[in-house]
Copies of this chain bind each other. A is one copy, B any other.
Amino acid sequence: MSTSIVFYDIPSTLPNCCWSPNLWKSRYALNFKGIPYTTVWLEYPEIEEKCKEIGASPTRNKPDGRPHYTLPMIHDLATGAVISDSAKIAAYLDATYPDKPMLMPAGTAGLHRAFEDAAHALISPIYPYGLPAAHKNLNPVSAEYFRRTREVAWGKTLEDLTPKGDEDAVEWKKLKDGFGKLDEWIRVNGPESPYFMGDTPCYADLWTAAYVMWIRLVLPGKWEEVKSWHEGRWAKLLKGLEEYETVL
């Protein structure tokens, strides 16, 4: 197969450029499937125009009701398909390339969606930590856009968003407990199970690793602590998926 997929990502000043958890979900997915692709890097203000140009669908509406175009997005030149949204990209890759390793093995797409909804609620305390930290690693044109849009969405400055003092203790504990629940789900397969479906990674693992990667990349101080959570579960997860970290 030739390099037929174009993957649109948002750059940063970090060494490997890719930084966003939603983008990591799709990059991990592409690498896991073993489908060759090339990355096109778009700064935030460039996303909407490119999405419209290649015929992407908006993924949701902006607060003012206008269509909102977001990355990740792939353009599969072999089929002409343009897909936005990490969950839809994963489903598309499995449906279109079933001869490659399955992200969501037979019949598990619905259970994966349940997992995503539940896991996202559990680890959502990460955002007030991750967003301000991510902002520091963006190029100026994206940093301006990111600050402006996130400050409207959250109703506070990025500086005020980061939990401090007692709120920090409470919110950080919530995050740890959230990851603790994910750890429990993995352990259902047995005490030594490394992944949500046992010995082989599935999309739920890549999804989770995308957030762990975010912590490692933009919150290096916190990462030192997270590495020791749940018997080193999350450091081992990234290690186990290291071969899918490549930024093509």
A105–B110 CA distance with the chains assembled, in angstroms: 13
A198 and B111 form a contact (CB under 8 A): no
Name which of A147-155, A157-165, A183-191 contacts chain B. Answer: A183-191
Copies in the complex: 2
Q: Is the CB of B186 within 8 A of A117?
A: no
Is B105 within 8 A of A188, CB to CB? no
Interface status of A112 (Cβ within 8 A of chain B): yes
User: With contacts A114-B119, A118-B118, A119-B114 known, is A109 near B181, CB below 8 A?
Assistant: no
A107 touches which one: B91, B109, B198 (CB < 8 A)?
Answer: B198
| Contact A111 to B204, CB < 8 A, known contacts A117-B118, A118-B117, A118-B118 | yes
Q: Tell me if A244 counts as interface (CB < 8 A to partner B).
A: no
**A184 CB contact (under 8 Å) in B106, B113, B185:** B113
Interface string of A88-131 (1 = CB under 8 A from B): 00010000000000000111111111110111010000000000
Q: Is the interface of A mostly helix, strand, loop or mixed?
A: helix
Interface residues of A (CB under 8 A from B): 91, 105-115, 117-119, 121, 181, 184-189, 193, 196-198, 200, 202, 204
Q: Can you add 13 more A-B contacts, CB < 8 Å, to A107-B197, A111-B112, A111-B114? A: A105-B107, A109-B188, A110-B186, A110-B188, A110-B189, A111-B115, A111-B197, A112-B188, A114-B114, A114-B196, A117-B118, A117-B181, A118-B121
